[in-house]
Amino acid sequence: MTDPSPVLEMTGITKQFPAVRALDGVDFRLLPGEIHALLGENGAGKSTLIKVATGVQESDAGTIRLGGVPVRFPAPAAAQAAGISTVYQEVNLCPNLSVAENILIGREPTRAGRIRWKELERQAAELVARFGLDVDVSAPLDAYPLAVQQLVAIVRAAAVQAKVLILDEPTSSLDRQEVTRLFELMRRLRDEGVAICFVTHFLDQIYEVCDRMTVLRGGRVVGEHLVSDLDQGGLVRLMVGRELAELDELADHVRTESAQHTEDAAPALLHAQGTGRRGGIEPFDLEVRAGEVLGLAGLLGSGRTELARLLFGADQADSGTLTVDGEAVTLRSPADAIERGIAFCSEDRKAEGLIPALTVRENIILAMQAARGWIRPVSARQRDELVSQYITALDIRPANPDVLAGQLSGGNQQKLLLARWLITQPRLLILDEPTRGIDVGAKAEIQKLVVSLSDEGMAMVFISAELEEVLRLSHTVGVLRDRRLVATWANGPELGTDQVLSTIASGVHE
């Protein structure tokens, strides 16, 4: 081989958890000056491999060589000191500190034990400018949206003269423009000789920015390829281990049916007239019927989530009326909405969905139990039956109701939350970004579920940043822009991504 010698070389990495072997003899190489995609479905072992490489967890077997020298990382600090920087999917910064402090925390310029604040801000501003970011470094980090915070985290990681930079799904909360900016930054770092390991679920991004890839499945390496050697189809086959033709069938299924759907005029299940909330979303009109999927498209921060939260009573509307089954209602709390058969899966699974310290069983039964009230517990038999029924139906892994929910992978957590709501048999299910940050296989399963549930008569609001997904699944498509619902169309073959995109971009619809 004519490969240059790898910066980071991991061989025979094995990691056993109580219930599962997360990594089984994994070999992984990162070359200097490359962007290397680390791929695999949820639970394939990507996160564990990264944790081993960054000293968060130690492997049970295997060796790590950095620049040819065997190393051990008993703690994250050791990996960092050796030149391995990491940016995680969730921003791990201090939102109450300034941008400058966040970038340089731990390596502040000091004089006689005191921090030189001016110098700190100067250095931070220089770094930020070098990476083409336009932020005020003296402002607190939480003055900026999550996407900018993510970029700041990357600046912080890159600022330490890292030899290896690991980016764990940095793009899942970024919009298109921000992703472009991130990629520019990544290419610049690559050209400076940094080895970048890039984890993402967006296949297009791999082909846009990566040089090589390693694919994991079930804790083993199933392929190490040049990106140019493997097309998307081959890659998906490699990741999933089966074909994904099913997805394409879905599109036809909904599209043909949606034409019929608009004809039969079932009365609206939920009807919003002039519903709005100051600072959240401008007043909007909306109708959802039984069996209808209403897709909402729009950029991050366009008001998609805010709209959904009003329909669910998570926030209270301060204008307009909301009717459920033709009856005007005021939703003061989620419990009020649930009583009327409305359910809501938040986009923020960690903060607003999961209760990590409780078991899978308790998490699944929670909404149903809350609706019944504490005095009427679901009997142990009924509960266990329901839980195991939904674990099987949604293929939640591990299929053990006693596992703590926090230990599940992202896709399985999402399925768990779906199970929590499906058990309550809602009439309207609001899904906010249900497929974000989860692997192709789980994504397809969730999309299929949306179709079959709406076939059974459940109304749905489906929110996603992926336009293709919205168009594939929805009967009606709504577009949001700058906290305003600017258009709603009946979906059909004539509605294309271009039209929706131009509406998202311009706010005008013809």
Partner 1 sequence: MNTVGTETSGTDTATSGASGNEALARLRRAASHRLFWPAVILVGLMLVNLPSTPDYFSIGVRHGHLYGSLINILIFTAPQILVGVGLTLVIATSGIDLSVGAVVAIAGTAACWWVVHASDQNAATTALAAAGIGLAAGLACGAWNGFFVARMGVQPIVATLTLMVAGRGVAQLIGNGQIITVNSSSYALIGGWWGPLPSGILIAAAVVVLTILLTRRTALGMLIEAVGGNAEAARLAGVRATRIKMTAYIFCGFCAAAAGLLLTSNTSSADANNSGLWYELYGILAVVLGGTSLAGGRFHIGGTVLGALVIGTLNNTLFALGVPSQSNLVFEGGVVIVVCLLGSPKFRTKVLNLRPGRRLPVPAAPTTEA
For tokens 């308790």, what's the residue? 362
What does the alpha-carbon distance between residue 157 and residue 84 come to, in Å, rounded to a whole number? Answer: 9
Q: In 113-241, where do the E strands start and end? A: 114-115, 164-168, 195-199, 212-217, 220-226
Q: Give the binding-site size for partner 1 (rule: CB under 8 A).
A: 31
CA distances from 179 to 27, 233, 285, 354, 418 (A): 29, 23, 32, 28, 29
Q: Residue 67 interacts with partner 1 (CB under 8 A)?
A: no
Nearest distance from C-beta of residue 501 to partner 1, angstroms: 31
Closest distance of CB 497 from partner 1, Å: 32
CB of 375 to partner 1, least distance (A): 6
> Three-class SS of residue 245?
helix
Q: Which is nearer to partner 1, 32 or 406 (CB)?
A: 406
Q: Using the rule CB under 8 A, which residue among 28, 73, 344, 390 binds partner 1?
A: 344
Nearest to 396 by CA among 372, 433, 447, 361: 361
355 binds partner 1 (CB under 8 A): yes
> By CB under 8 A, which span of 43-51, 57-65, 104-112, 349-357 interacts with partner 1?
349-357
Peptide bond into 398 cis (omega under 30): yes
What tokens appear for 366 in the block? 């929670």
Residues 6+ apart with CB under 8 A from 90: 350
Using CB under 8 A, which of the segments 148-156, 217-225, 247-255, 363-371 binds partner 1? Answer: 363-371
* 281-289, strands of its sheet edge to edge: 281-289, 268-277, 319-324, 327-329
Residue 229, amino acid: D
Q: How many CB atoms lie within 10 A of CB 118?
A: 9
State yes or no: residue 370 binds partner 1 (CB under 8 A).
Answer: yes
Smallest distance, Å, CB 17 to partner 1? Answer: 12
* Per-residue mark of binding to partner 1, 315-334 (x: CB under 8 A): ------------------xx
In the complex with partner 1, the residue whose CB is nearer, 176 or 372, is 372
Minimum distance from residue 397 beta carbon to partner 1 (Å): 21
Does the footprint of partner 1 cover residue 372 (CB under 8 A)?
yes
The encoded tokens of residue 258 equal 């949606």
For residue 335, state whether it binds partner 1 (rule: CB under 8 A).
Answer: yes
Q: Decide whether 1 or 351 has the Cβ nearer to partner 1.
A: 351
Query: 84-104 b/e with 16+ CB inside 10 Å = b?
Result: bbbbbbbbebeeeebbbbbbb
Does residue 371 touch partner 1 according to CB under 8 A? yes
Q: Select the span of 154-162, 344-352, 467-475, 491-499 touching partner 1 (CB under 8 A).
A: 344-352
Contact call for residue 78 and partner 1 (CB under 8 A): no
Q: Which is nearer to partner 1, 18 or 106 (CB)?
A: 18
Cβ–Cβ contacts within 10 Å for residue 459, how many? Answer: 26
Instruction: Give the residue from 28, 3, 1, 25 showing the smallest Cα distance to 13.
Output: 25
Stretch (H or E) spanning 151: helix 146-158
Q: Alpha-carbon distance 152 to 149, whole Å?
A: 5
**362 touching partner 1, by CB under 8 A:** yes
- Alpha-carbon gap, residue 461 to 101, rounded angstroms: 41
Give the residue, chosen from 366, 490, 495, 501, that forms a contact with partner 1 under the rule CB under 8 A.
366
**CB nearer to partner 1: pick between 31 and 378:** 378
Q: x/- binding map, residues 258-297, to partner 1, per CB under 8 A?
A: ----------------------------------------
Using CB under 8 A, which of 2, 376, 381, 402 touches partner 1?
376
The one-character DSSP state at 142 is G
From residue 407 to residue 426, the character string flagging contacts with partner 1 as x (rule: CB under 8 A) and all else as - is: -------------x------
Site membership for partner 1, residue 130 (CB under 8 A): no
**What amino acid occupies position 468?**
E
Rank residues 291 and 410 by Cβ distance to partner 1 and give the closer one: 410
The verdict on 352 binding partner 1 (CB under 8 A) reads yes
SS3 349: helix
Q: Shortest approach of partner 1 to residue 406 CB, angstroms?
A: 9
Q: Which residue in this structure is represented by tokens 């003061």?
A: 332
Annotate 418-468 with DSSP letters as a single string: HHHHHTT--SEEEEESTTTT--HHHHHHHHHHHHHHHHTT-EEEEE-S-HH
Q: Which two tokens stand for residue 49?
A: 């491999």
CB of 110 to partner 1, least distance (A): 31
Q: How far is the CB of 400 from partner 1 (least distance, A)?
A: 15
Identity of the residue, 306 or 439, whose beta carbon is nearer to partner 1 in the bound complex? 306
Does 74 engage in binding with partner 1 (CB under 8 A)? no
Quote the least distance from Cβ 502 to partner 1, whole Å.
34
Is 429 one of the binding residues for partner 1 (CB under 8 A)? no
Report the interface residues with partner 1, using CB under 8 A: 18, 312, 314, 333-335, 338, 344, 346, 351-358, 362, 366-367, 369-378, 420
